[in-house]
Amino acid sequence: MPFLQAAFCLKGFDDRNRFFATSILTILGFIFCSAILSNYLAVNFIMLLILTAVLSCSAKRRLHDAKLNKNWQLVPGGLLLLTGILSLLLENSGSYYLLILPLLSAALLLTYPSKNTKEKNNYILGYYGPVDLSSYKQKTVVMKTHNQRIEPTLAADGASEQLYAYNTTAEQSITPNDTFNDEIDREVDGKQADIGELIRLKFLGNRKIQLGLIASVALIFIGVLVNSAINAIPTEQNNTNNTELSEPQVVSNNVSVTILANKNHLLAMPDNFNLYLSEYQGVIIHWQADQVANGELWSQLSTNGDKSCQSIKFNKGSSIRPLTVLVENGSEYFASFSPLDSGELIQALAFRGKFSLCGYSFSLKGSQAVLGKHNLYAPFLEQDA
């Protein structure tokens, strides 16, 4: 397509309007692409390279048009590439303020007037060069007036005579008037100062304006970097806190799963609850209750969960804290206790009247007889509490 070929052309000329439009479109294009495709870093980087190439080619053609040093040709594109990469890495909407640098460099190039005045009328869409854009040129309809000389006749009236006199006068005066007007236009164009030139000269001649602009750009850079650093700190702290909180929970879950997987020696108790012993002789109390989500209700290691499950309470005597309380199959509750508490816990189950755990109460009537008949639980009754 000729239009795309002209966008990447290196030998043509771009006037101010075309270079201004190209600069704005490339910068806005990068902002929109990086915002919409924020999760695709590779795609954004490729788009940034393409837009940088378009801006660099346009800058080179603008330099041709203004007959300036070619060392400028990589400045706008290079600044767009640099600030674009920083914006992608910082992942902060405030980083788009860094794009003011390529915008300022483009604005400086716009202050230089076109020096290619001979081909001024041959520019199409602001471009003049080897790529043919004539298909985009608007066709103008030229109304041709035929100044035919009307010969006088015997029937000629006053209007015909006036028309003849007008045409004759116009034919005699067209060449000198046009020449005179062209000379006047050239003098006016030579004397009239270009607005872009005035702005550039005003800027270069005023040290305070230069320092103010440099200070503003520096403040923008510092503000963007500080903002990015501030936004990054809470994220790191949250990640650290989450890691610290999740580590005990993972360990607790692993311990609970291991204990339940190795529970043995089922003993049914009178009031609809059961006892198990773990491989390390820790007591596990099991009962069925209301439907809840599967998982850990309480963990002594992380101290997280349902506070009503943090201890088993008897009608008299001290309470005992379970290691974990887990729910399986929606209604199967398992409270695992430390092997160090097995003797005290079994004696409390045998000699107390009732206990409560996780908001559920159980009667211990007849529990002593059941425990005393089991050869693995009975030895705990003989131990000193």
pLDDT at 5: 84
CA dist., res. 190 & res. 172, Å (int)? 30
pLDDT at 139: 56
- pLDDT tens track for 60-84: 998 888 888 767 778 888 899 998 9
Helix, strand, or coil (residue 212): helix
CB 2 within 8 Å of CB 132: yes
Is the C-alpha dihedral spanning 298, 301, 304, 307 positive or negative? positive
Task: Go through 256-295 and write b for each residue having 16 or more CB atoms within 10 A of its CB, e for each that does not.
Answer: beebbeebeeebebeeebebbbbeeebbbbbbeeeeeeee
pLDDT at 122: 82
pLDDT at 25: 94
CB 326 within 8 Å of CB 256: yes
pLDDT at 26: 93
pLDDT at 51: 93
N-to-C CA span, the chain: 93
Name residues of the chain where pLDDT drops below 70: 70, 138-193, 231-261, 384-385
Instruction: Locate 2 and state its tokens.
Output: 């000729």
Instruction: Locate 148 and state its tokens.
Output: 């035919």
The runs of H, that is alpha helices, within the chain are: 2-7, 16-36, 41-66, 75-90, 100-110, 158-191, 195-205, 207-261, 342-351, 367-372, 378-381
CA dist., res. 374 & res. 257, Å (int)? 26
